[in-house]
């Protein structure tokens, strides 16, 4: 009997030793996992000096992370804020954007986006400046003379936008956030394109200002979105009014001959009502206008400025979705006016 009791006691001791050994191994196993996670996170951080190649093919070297940044357009500032960027100054067009934080809108302004006050800009003593290709080209020589590091970014086409967001992620040191935005845009655009009907519709894209009506070309935001949606665009192959321009003169003869399924209207005026008045004055009084298929069927749509005059930035996919709805409501649903 004593031997049996002794045997049972030895078995219990052995089991206790085995179980306590498994308990000790658990924290030992988790430690390397935590270290690996930390090492992986470190690889996403920006290391300095950082060299950025901008839209003008300039190589800009940053010795340290910029602390006093000014971004000279809302088109660039919206995605810059989306990837965690902070600024000390803004341009006036920022005040009209809904996708920019309200506290940012209270910062000092350096004037209108098309007419930057360089004296105000320099008074902020920035250590880094981000400007937009095209509208800020004339400021490049002055900025070069100032000695302040700056980059020129292009934000027009879908590819421009994704590349620009990546660069902004490098500047802010938040590459992970930037990549998430890029991935979301790709996913959303792919979803939209996958639903496109087999037969493409014909579109004409008009551009209304306070002075006249013209047509938007393929190198515009609206033209790029039309290409993504594989639409037949009336402006395809049309030469611009002048080198580098996004527009060409409006021709009633051309649009009548093309007879689009849908007419899309982009604007550069303060309200849709002003744009409608200009359209009535310049084109709708012509009897040929009312005979167009798109007009007869009620398929003329105004495109929102925050997506098609200004680049939608981190929400570029929303511009693609909006045009898809405007052209194919039977597939994507109607647009919200």
pLDDT, tens digit (0-9, with 9 covering 90-100), for 246-301: 999 999 999 999 999 999 999 999 899 999 999 999 999 999 999 999 999 999 99
Extents of the domains making up the chain? 50-191, 196-332
CA-to-CA dists, residue 7 to 3, 16, 17, 153, angstroms:
6, 14, 16, 80
C-alpha Rg value of the chain to the nearest Å: 28
pLDDT of residue 48: 86
pLDDT of residue 27: 33
pLDDT of residue 199: 95
The CATH class, in words, for 50-191 is alpha beta
Look up the CATH architecture of domain 196-332: 3-Layer(aba) Sandwich (3.40)
pLDDT 10s digits, 120-131: 999 999 999 999
d(CA 42, CA 114): 40
pLDDT of residue 44: 57
pLDDT of residue 244: 84
pLDDT of residue 29: 33
Q: Which residues of the chain, if any, have pLDDT below 50?
A: 1-43
pLDDT of residue 45: 66
Same fold, 50-191 and 196-332: yes
pLDDT of residue 337: 66
Q: What is the DSSP string of 58-94?
A: -EEEESS--SSEEE--HHHHHHHHHTT---SBB-GGG
């Amino acid at each position: 009997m004593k031997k049996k009791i002794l045997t049972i006691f030895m078995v219990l001791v052995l089991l206790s030793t085995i179980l306590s050994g498994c308990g000790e191994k658990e924290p030992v196993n988790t430690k390397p996992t935590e270290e690996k996670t930390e090492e992986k996170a470190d690889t996403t951080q920006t290391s300095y000096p950082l060299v950025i190649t901008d839209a003008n093919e300039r190589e800009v070297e940053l010795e340290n992370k910029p602390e006093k940044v000014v971004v000279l357009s809302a088109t660039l500032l919206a995605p810059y804020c989306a990837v965690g960027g902070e600024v000390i100054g803004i341009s006036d067009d920022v005040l009209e954007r809904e996708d920019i934080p309200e506290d940012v809108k209270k910062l000092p302004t350096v004037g209108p986006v098309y007419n930057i006050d360089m004296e105000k800009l320099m008074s902020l003593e920035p250590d880094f400046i981000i400007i937009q290709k095209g509208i800020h080209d004339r400021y490049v020589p002055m900025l070069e003379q100032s000695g302040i590091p700056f980059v020129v970014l292009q934000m027009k086409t879908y590819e421009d936008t994704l590349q620009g967001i990546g660069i902004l992620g490098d500047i802010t040191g938040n590459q992970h956030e930037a990549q998430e935005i890029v991935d979301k845009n790709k996913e959303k655009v792919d979803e939209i394109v996958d639903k496109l009907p087999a037969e493409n519709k014909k579109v004409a894209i008009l551009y209304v200002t306070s002075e006249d009506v013209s047509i938007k070309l393929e190198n515009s935001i609206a033209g790029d979105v039309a290409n993504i949606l594989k639409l037949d665009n009336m402006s395809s192959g049309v030469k611009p009014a002048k080198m580098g321009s996004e527009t060409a003169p409006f021709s009633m003869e051309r649009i009548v001959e093309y007879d689009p399924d849908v007419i899309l209207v982009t604007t550069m005026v303060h309200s849709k009502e002003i744009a409608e008045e200009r359209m009535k004055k310049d084109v709708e009084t012509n009897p040929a206008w009312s005979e167009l298929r798109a007009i007869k069927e009620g398929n003329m749509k105004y495109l929102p400025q925050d997506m098609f005059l200004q680049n939608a930035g981190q929400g570029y996919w929303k511009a693609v979705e909006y045009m898809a709805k405007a052209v194919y409501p039977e597939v994507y649903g109607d647009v919200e006016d």
